[in-house]
Structure 1
Amino acid sequence: MSTTKVQETYVPVRDEVRHRHKFENDFARVYDVLIPPGDMSDYHEHVEDTLYVCIAPVAMTDQVWGEEDVNQFNVPAGISMCRPHRCDPLIHRVGNIGSNDMHMVGVEVKASPPWVAAAPLQAKGHTELWDHTRMRAYRLSLESQESTGAFTYDFYGVTILLADTNYHYTDAVSSRSMALKAGDVIWHEGPLQQSITNLGESPLEAIVVEWL
């Protein structure tokens, strides 16, 4: 008696239930990855260049569709990267073999913006991390009660919070505070003249990424 192995299928990342849609516009689609300990995503396909930011440290597995090998990684919080899925599509599934929730934010680059900054950002609290053909990333760090002073985001992009914080900003038309959680995402379209102040008691940590 013979048996036949059932061929596994995959879904677009948009339809994978653990990759939870947050918001979308003409330039970006943002989703939140949340996988409890011991759980695993379905096989899913990535076809757009994607920014990944790890919010919480995690021990994870990664298995490419059709392959038997299962890779294991320990990923620290705060890691950010861009993977070029538009020219190198990926079908895989990821699992959580750690003791805490796997929490990541993914941002797909849907289109290039109408303009880009003439030079990398130079503003207090911002440190350039890496430069990709479609994105440039910075780490934003402010101690309690510290402010950036006035500066300009002369680009389209996102800010992704790495920790809970009381985020206060002032721009040309408003001044307000926001109680933000780790993993929250702010979309901004430049030129945005503003100042940012950390009104919380702990450091403000975020990843800021500009579209190129």
Structure 2
Amino acid sequence: MIKAFATILVILLYAVFQSAVPVASEPRHHLKFENQYVRVFDVLVPPGDATLFHTHSNDYVFVTISGANLKAQVMGAQPVDLNLTSGEVRFTKAPLTHRVTNVGSTPFRNITVEILSSPSSTSSAASLENVPGHTLVLDNERVRVHRLVLEPGQSTGVHTHELSGLGVAVSTGEIEIESPGQQRQTVKLQPGDFRWHTGATTHSIKNVGSTRFEAVNIEWK
């Protein structure tokens, strides 16, 4: 009888440790911004640390800010190696329940961007591929993602984002933003800083710093 009780206890403890929490309750996911379209988490996993098993109920994009060597485990499956580099962008369909362990020697940080809903948009909105500094890196039925890289002194020129979206800085930088009818702004950015805009926006971006600037722009379809 004692042996049977011990077996039941082990099973119960295993179930407790295997249970998942919603992503918003996972301690290493820090909610930074939310509106009706998007929810943004700043995720930080130090070396040797791990997230809890957690569930993403919405499709999401993540932008790697600080790359690391990881073990990723979907609940019910074996862990797999996952090596991510700074600036890497991935899209994941929901639902997903998983955890991540940082087996490397450097902190792992990403900006996780959940897609809650889509604003009214133009399905045939023009891509930014022909805008200086922009490269298309991901395009599906939910989002379109461009990487922006500007060398010191380089400008995008005036261009229009026809879709609502979120810009995420991957590197430090000092940029000048100019929009028609508005005062020119100079903005200093740190890796992981982000900015949301709803609806179309027209502007130019110039790198007025002394180092290369890199960012990722996620557009909602």
1:95 is aligned, of 95, 101, 106, to 101
Partner of 1:156: 164
2:167–2:196 CA contact under 8 A, matched in 1: yes
CA drift of 1:211 comes to: 0.5
For the residue of structure 1 that corresponds to 2:66, the secondary structure is coil
How far off its partner does 1:76 sit?
1.3
Aligned partner of 2:88 among 79, 83, 87: 79
Q: CA RMSD in A?
A: 1.2
Structure 2 Cα separation of the partners of residues 169 and 119 of structure 1: 21
Q: 2:127 maps to what in 1?
A: 120
| Structure-1 residue corresponding to 2:218 | 209
User: Which residue of structure 2 lines up, in the alignment, with residue 177 of structure 1?
Assistant: 186
Alignment match, 1:30? 40
What CA distance in whole angstroms lies between the structure 1 residues aligned with 2:56 and 2:171?
A: 27
Contact 1:82 1:132 in 2 (8 A): no
Distance between the aligned counterparts of 1:178 and 1:98, measured in 2?
33
**Contact in 1 for aligned 2:162/2:201 (Cα 8 Å):** yes
Answer yes or no: is the 8 Å Cα contact 1:53–1:81 preserved in 2. Answer: yes
Does the aligned pair in 1 maintain the 2:61–2:91 contact within 8 Å?
yes
How far does residue 159 in structure 1 lie from its aligned partner after superposition? 0.9
In structure 2, stretches of 5+ residues that fail to align are none
SS in 1 for 2:125: coil
The one-letter code matched in structure 1 to 2:197 is H
1:118 Cα deviation after fit: 2.3
Of Structure 1 and Structure 2, which has the larger fraction of its residues in helix?
A: 2
Query: How far does residue 174 in structure 1 lie from its aligned partner after superposition?
Result: 2.5
2:141 is aligned to 133
Return 5+ residue gaps in structure 1 as ranges. Answer: none
- The aligned runs of 1:10-89 (5 Å cut-off) are 10-67=20-77, 69-85=78-94, 89=95
What amino acid is aligned across from residue 118 of structure 1 in structure 2? A
Residues 160-185 of structure 1, C-alpha deviations (whole Å, 9 max, x = no match): 11101112101132311111111111
Q: Distance in 2 between matches of 1:118 and 1:40?
A: 40
Number of aligned residue pairs: 208
Map Cα deviations across residues 71-101 of structure 1 (whole Å, 9 max, x no partner): 112111111121111xxx1111111111111
Q: Secondary structure at the match of 1:55?
A: strand
Distance 2:177 2:61 in 1: 24
Larger radius of gyration: 2
Task: Indicate conservation of the 8 Å contact 2:150/2:212, yes or no.
Answer: yes
Q: Is the 8 A contact 1:65 1:91 kept in 2?
A: yes
Q: Aligned partners of 1:57, 1:42: CA distance in 2, in Å?
A: 19
Looking at structure 1, the residues matched to 104 and 131 of structure 2 have their Cα atoms a distance apart, in angstroms, of 37
The code of the aligned residue for 1:102 comes to F
Q: Which amino acid aligns with 2:211?
A: S
In 2, distance between residues paired with 1:48 and 1:54? 19
Q: Given the two structures, how large is their TM-score scaled by the length of structure 1?
A: 0.94
Q: Deviations over 1:80-134 (max 9, x none)?
A: 121111xxx1111111111111001110111111113522223111111121110
Contact 2:63–2:89, Cα closer than 8 Å, also in 1: yes
Which secondary structure state, in structure 1, belongs to the residue aligned with residue 71 of structure 2? strand
